[in-house]
Every structure is written in C-alpha cells, then in structure tokens.
Amino acid sequence: MARDVDDLSRVKGPSVYDHAAATGKPSPRVGIVVSMVMALLLGALSLLVMFPAADHLRSLRDGERAQATLVHSGSCMIGHCQVEFMADGRAVVATLPVGSSGGKSSDGARWVVRYRADDPETAVREADLGGGGAIALAWTAGGLALMFVVTSVYVGFYLARRRRKSPAPHCH
C-alpha cells in the first residue's frame, strides 16, 4: 500500500527530494528543520537567558555604590569576571552576573559597582545598569531567531509551490 502511494506521488516526475536522494545530498526539508531548530534555540537564548539577565542588571539601580577592582578578568558576558570591593567594612569578592560588559578589561581595572546591601556578593558594574551587553545580545538573538523562522517559512512555501508547478510527464 505504501509503495502504491509512493508510485502515485511520482506520476508528475522526479521531485527536488528525489534529486537530493540521488545525489546523496540532504533533502531540502533538512534545511528547514535545521533553520527552525536554530530559531528555537536563539529565541530561547533571548527570552529565557538574556532578557532576564538584563532585568537582573537593571534591578540593582538602587543598590549601594562602591569602588571595585577587577580581580579575575575573562568573559564577563557569560559571568566569568570577579570584582573585589569593600562593603560594611569587609572585603567582598563578587562574580559579575551573566550579561555584564567589560570583558576586555584586564585584572586591576577600577570600576564602580552597585551591590545589594543584604547580599554584597550580588553586584553589577554601574555601567551595566541599563542592561549591559545582555540587552544587545537579547535583541540580536531575537532578530536572528525571527530571520530563521521567516527563511524556513519562505523556503517551505517555495518548495511546496515548486512541487505543485512541476510539469506532468508526457505519456507515449
């Protein structure tokens, strides 16, 4: 039965899928699926990671202010920078949150930070109180996700239309 349906679908001649199978290349459907997966991943990065990170950076606008020294530089965007500052008379080392900017600075750089009075280890660079690099990355990832969705839909419609418009073979 499945073979009969398959034979009937080929009455119009070989399709783009048959050509892909014959040449050993992946079907155009694979591209659509990969594009949709990329859209999903980028959308999740934007909505579930970067926008909340930007909100966290903004949440410390009313925090206590202190002069800090960068003691461990690295990729601040992914939360690998540490600063040291004085809070309530004691030295505190705080890891900057995901979405922080300033990753090109080297150890010993001086920054102004804001921290929570009840939890000084929660600190943010004062320069990042507007959302830092997190907000830029959130919008970029969201835009790329939208681009992947639009591309997938366009290619899907294009392939469906091309398949419908295939000329019928001549019978002799």
Query: Has residue 6 got a pLDDT over 80?
Result: no
Model confidence at 9, in pLDDT bands (50, 70, 90)?
Answer: low
Q: Are residues 111 and 154 in the same domain?
A: no
| Claim to verify: residue 118 and residue 35 sit in the same structural domain | no
Record the pTM. Answer: 0.65
% of the chain surpassing 90 pLDDT: 44
Same structural domain for residues 119 and 143? no
Q: What is the pLDDT of residues 93-115, one digit of tens each?
A: 999 988 888 778 888 899 999 99
**Residue 115's domain is classified under what CATH number?**
2.40.50
- Do 79 and 121 belong together in one domain? yes
Domain count, the chain: 2
Q: CB-based contacts of 18: which residues, under 8 Å, 6+ apart?
A: 10
Does 42 reside within a domain?
yes
- Residue 154 belongs to domain spanning: 28-59+131-166
Q: How far apart are CA 70 and CA 68, in angstroms?
A: 7
Does 37 share its domain with 96? no
In the prediction, which pLDDT does 171 show?
A: 58
Please indicate, yes or no, if residue 156 is contained in any of the structural domains: yes
In a domain, 153, yes or no: yes
158 token code pair:
């294009």
Percentages helix, strand, coil for the chain (3-state, rounded to 5) are: 50, 20, 30
* Residue 49 included in any domain: yes
Same domain, 120 and 73: yes
